[in-house]
Amino acid sequence: MSSNASGRLGAVDAMRGFALAGLFLVHIMESYELYWAHPVANPLTDAVFLLFMGKSFSLLAMCFGFSFHILMAGAAKRGEDFRLRFAWRLLLLAAIGYLHSLIYRGDIMVTLAALGMALIPAERIRSNRTLFAIAAVCFLGPTLIVQMLGAMAGADWANREALSSTDPAMAIYLNGSWDATLRVNLWTAQVPKFAYFIEFGRLPQIYGLFLIGMLLGRTRFFGRLHELRKQRWIALAVAVAFALLLQFGREPARLAFAAEGYSPAAQRAFHTLTGTWLELAGSAVWGLLVLEAYQRAGRLLAPLVAMGRLTLTLYVAQSIVFVPLFYSFGLGLHDDLDSEARLWLGLGGIAVQMAFATLWLRYFAYGPLEWAWRALTYLRADIPFRKREAAGRPAGGSKPQMV
């Protein structure tokens, strides 16, 4: 498989673009969280949630781990120690994420940046088997298993009401002004979000995905798609089988577990645990399908590749444009659009982002936020922004492409 002109692997960008599109569609269908104030089961909404919720974020987390490997490996080839600069890069990402969370508290960048710090010591583990074993333990859901066992044993700490179940910010999102939304997003609204990541076992899962991304980079997986095609089809069959088993067996398993008389907290942990496994299986299915599509018809996925190269810019822009569409300080359409209208809005928004990204990259080497993040990472302002500037640089005259 070939890389594009900037040296980035198109398959990774396609996967990143697909994940961003799926995440955006989920956000639109849930009216940027406001759906959960009064959720109403709907076949269309449920289908989008089943297909993309959790799966898209998982693919982004895996791509994050891959990008870490590319940066560290590139620095090692130049004889540089990139660890401190990568930590600085993560601090910058956390700052961007926090500013973004003032608009939309569901921001994921702060969490990615915080957990990304744990990748720095992991990079020194040279054994791929050891890294895979750590990832496998993370995927088992160790924190959820501990919670479940503690609740089953009657421990008070495990049977307390989840902190994330109380959301003081929702009423403000539904009825408050812009300044009230900003004030609550400074911290109060962040507490249930971070509590959710802890209480529902998301942190080990994300870290495991980081490590898998690292391993895919170390083994040159994305550069050997044709060579590994048979193995990918086997992996796809296993992932599909596991996903179907969980999809149709998860509810009977929950009912059987509940019939044993365990506490609501134990039941919640058990159901969440099987849900995380379903998300991981679904993520694997989507990732492998995107890679197969890229290998067979890469040019048709060019719009997704363009989105993948502008992930940071588009992710923030999505919130700037669409949060005011749904929230009370803007148009307040969260309860005016039915599921079909929201679906068309989401698909239309994806089409516009694809077109914008494709057009933008004709003239610019980076998205605006990607360029700023890169410039601040190296504390340099002379990094070429326009493509003609980049083309005029002598070979080796600039830092490597940031992923």
Q: Which residues contact 317 (CB under 8 A, 6 or more apart)?
A: none
Cβ atoms of 21 and 315 within 8 Å: the answer is no
CB atoms < 10 A from the CB of 309, how many? 28
**What φ, ψ does residue 3 adopt, rounded to 5°?**
-95, 165
Q: What is the pLDDT of residue 8?
A: 64
Distance CA 182, CA 189 (A): 10
Q: Which residues of the chain have pLDDT under 70?
A: 1-8, 389-403
Quick check: helix, strand or coil at residue 3? strand
Backbone phi, psi, residue 168, to 5°? -70, -10
Structure tokens at 22: 């799926």
Rounded to whole angstroms, the Cα distance separating 225 from 12 reads 11
Residue 295 backbone dihedrals phi, psi, to 5 degrees = -70, -35
Contacts of 354 (CB under 8 A, 6+ apart): 303, 304, 306, 307
Domain ranges of the chain: 10-362
How much is the pLDDT for 224?
94
Amino acid letter for position 41? A
The pTM for the full model equals 0.94
Handedness of CA 186, 181, 35, 160 (dihedral sign): positive
Query: What is the per-residue pLDDT for 400?
Result: 37
What is the C-alpha R_g of the chain?
Answer: 21
Cβ neighbours of residue 173 closer than 8 Å, sequence gap 6 or more: 33, 34, 37, 181, 327, 328
- Residue 56 · residue 28 · CB < 8 Å: no
Report how far residue 239's alpha carbon sits from residue 219's, in angstroms, rounded to the nearest whole number. Answer: 20
Query: What is the Cα–Cα distance from 255 to 259, expressed in whole angstroms?
Result: 6
Closest CA to 291 of 5, 13, 7: 13
**What pLDDT does 349 receive?**
98
In the chain, the amino acid numbered 223 is G
Rounded to whole angstroms, the Cα distance separating 381 from 53 reads 38
In this prediction, residue 395 carries a pLDDT of 40
**What pLDDT does residue 127 have?**
98
Q: What is the predicted pLDDT for the residue at 388?
A: 79
Q: CA 29, CA 190: separation in Å to the nearest integer?
A: 22
According to DSSP, the residues that pair with 364 across neighbouring strands are 386
**Residue 395, burial from CB neighbour count under 10 angstroms (0-12, 13-18, 19+):** exposed
Distances (CA, A) of 157 to 148, 152, 202, 213, 393: 11, 12, 19, 34, 60
Closest CA to 151 of 280, 276, 260, 255: 260
Q: How far is CA 112 from the centre of its chain?
A: 8
Distances from the Cα of 145 to the Cαs of 91, 201, 221, 224, 373, in angstroms? Answer: 31, 9, 32, 36, 38
Cα 200 to Cα 144: distance, rounded to the nearest angstrom: 7
